[in-house]
Amino acid sequence: MAHDGPGGTPDDNLDRTAFDQRSRQPGADADAVGAWLAEQLGDDAWRDCTLAPVGAGRSNLTYRVDSAAGSVVLRRPPVGAIAATAHDMGREQRVLSALAGTPVPVPRIFAASEGGPPVDAPCFVMELVEGVVPLGELPKGWADTEADRARMATALVDVLVALHAVDAGSVGLAGFGRPEGFMERQVRRWGTQWEAARGGGGADAATEERLTRLGVRLSEGLPATQRHAIVHGDYRIDNCLFDAKDPGRIAAVLDWEMSTLGDPMADLGLLLVYWHHTRESPVWSAAQHLDSPTALPGFPTRPEIAAVYAAGSGLDLTPLPWYVAFGTFKLAVVLAGIHARVAAGAVPRSASEGIEDAVDPLVTLGHHILDEGLA
């Protein structure tokens, strides 16, 4: 469940060793964070706080902050060089603030910094929302029936429809992006990213040529945008936090750093790239490098997900295969970029664990979708 504010009771049984381990994190120091929170939130009890990392940390860094004053979540960019567009703290903070009070469930923002204290980088502190993030395996005893899993999927699509129905101007996001020409720029942007990553060890020469060709095919077949909307940019089941007592309710949508104004079909396309079936075809299963609970019985198929979205949004999904193929292109380029940074020594080798051979199957899937549709 969500806290009503930056209150609540943390674990009072932490010993001194555990406190020290949780106080010194890469990119955040408990003393500095506590002093800043005490000033920002007007409560000196924040000064004696602990930090614990949340998530894998490949993107923006997230820490749980616990103190006698309560518990909150701190978000900051990765340590070191960062891409300004991908890790824009101000962008994420702005969209979360704007969506407060809409049908889209998001954590509340409590404090923000443009740089300097507390982490010498832009950051913000938001509400700690309790719940379940569905990763590869679901918690025992939670959503363990097919009916519960079907309700999870319905909630996921309903929230996406609700997001795409929010009027950007009415919530102060009229200038949040440039929706005109959005998909054309996206194809060009990720093509440029691919050229920068090419030769970095993520693919052999034949795969590199096919990845380049996939980008060309996408640019040649750009569909007409039907509607402009607020887009999440990385909407998938494990970027949502579900109610621990009710799997059919999303408590909060997380990770908004890629959000902007654009074509809502891009969100649906990427969601379907990540979506697994109970009985998957070989070309799809080969491209699924990340585990997903949607492979469990009860979760609907990709066409069923698309049909629910179409009914809720009113959009024509005839061009959907193009958007799904674009999702495979974007993801393949992201993974190729990770390989290139590992090869250059810019990030640790652990960053590429589990995705060593993931680029080629994604490229194959992208061409397959353009040729055969979503089958």
pLDDT > 90 in the chain, percent: 77
Angle of CA points 179, 182, 187, to nearest 5°: 170
- Mean of pLDDT over the chain: 90
Helices and strands in the chain: count of H runs, count of E runs = 11, 11
Using CA atoms in the order 97, 178, 155, 64, what is the torsion angle rounded to 10 degrees? -40
Q: How much is the pLDDT for 25? A: 67
When mean pLDDT is compared across 294-298, 317-321, 350-354, the lowest value belongs to: 350-354
Dihedral pair phi/psi, residue 139, rounded to 5°: -60, 140
Residue 26 has pLDDT above 90, yes or no: no
When mean pLDDT is compared across 7-11, 177-181, 208-212, 219-223, the lowest value belongs to: 7-11
Distance CA 223, CA 316 (A): 11
| Domain 146-372, CATH homologous superfamily name and number | Aminoglycoside phosphotransferase (APH), C-terminal lobe (3.90.1200.10)
Tens digits of per-residue pLDDT, 289-313?
888 999 999 999 999 999 999 999 9
pLDDT > 70 in the chain, percent: 90
| Among the listed residues 268, 262, 261, the one whose alpha carbon sits nearest the alpha carbon of residue 320 | 268
Q: How far is CA 67 from CA 25, 48, 53, 75, in A?
A: 16, 6, 15, 17
Q: How much is the pLDDT for 328? A: 98
Q: Which helix (H) or strand (E) holds 300?
A: none
| Among the listed residues 237, 251, 245, 248, the one whose alpha carbon sits nearest the alpha carbon of residue 135 | 237
Banded pLDDT at 54 (limits 50, 70, 90)? confident
Predicted TM-score (pTM) of this structure = 0.89
- Measured over the CA atoms of residue 171, residue 172, residue 177 and residue 178, the dihedral's sign is positive
Residue 98 has pLDDT above 80, yes or no: yes
Helix axes 205-220, 320-343, angle to 10 degrees: 140
Looking at the chain, the domain(s) classified CATH 3.90.1200.10 span 146-372
Q: How much is the pLDDT for 90? A: 86
Read off the pLDDT of each residue in 311-316 and give the average, rounded to a whole number. Answer: 98
Q: How much is the pLDDT for 80? A: 67
Mapping DSSP to helix (H, G, I), strand (E, B) and coil, where does residue 216 land? helix
Residue 258 has pLDDT above 80, yes or no: yes
Q: How much is the pLDDT for 137? A: 86
Tens digits of per-residue pLDDT, 187-210?
999 999 999 999 988 899 999 999
Report the CATH fold assignment for 16-127.
Phosphorylase Kinase; domain 1 (3.30.200)
Q: Could you identify the residue written with the tokens 């069923």?
A: 304
Q: How much is the pLDDT for 58? A: 55
Q: How much is the pLDDT for 60? A: 81
Mapping DSSP to helix (H, G, I), strand (E, B) and coil, where does residue 367 land? helix
Tens digits of per-residue pLDDT, 65-86?
999 999 999 999 887 654 454 4
Looking at the chain, the domain(s) classified CATH 3.30.200.20 span 16-127
Q: How much is the pLDDT for 346? A: 82
Give one DSSP letter per residue of 54-108, joined into a string: ES--SSSEEEEEEETTEEEEEEEPPSSS--TTTT-HHHHHHHHHHHTTSSS--PP
Tens digits of per-residue pLDDT, 126-137?
999 999 999 888
Q: How much is the pLDDT for 87? A: 56
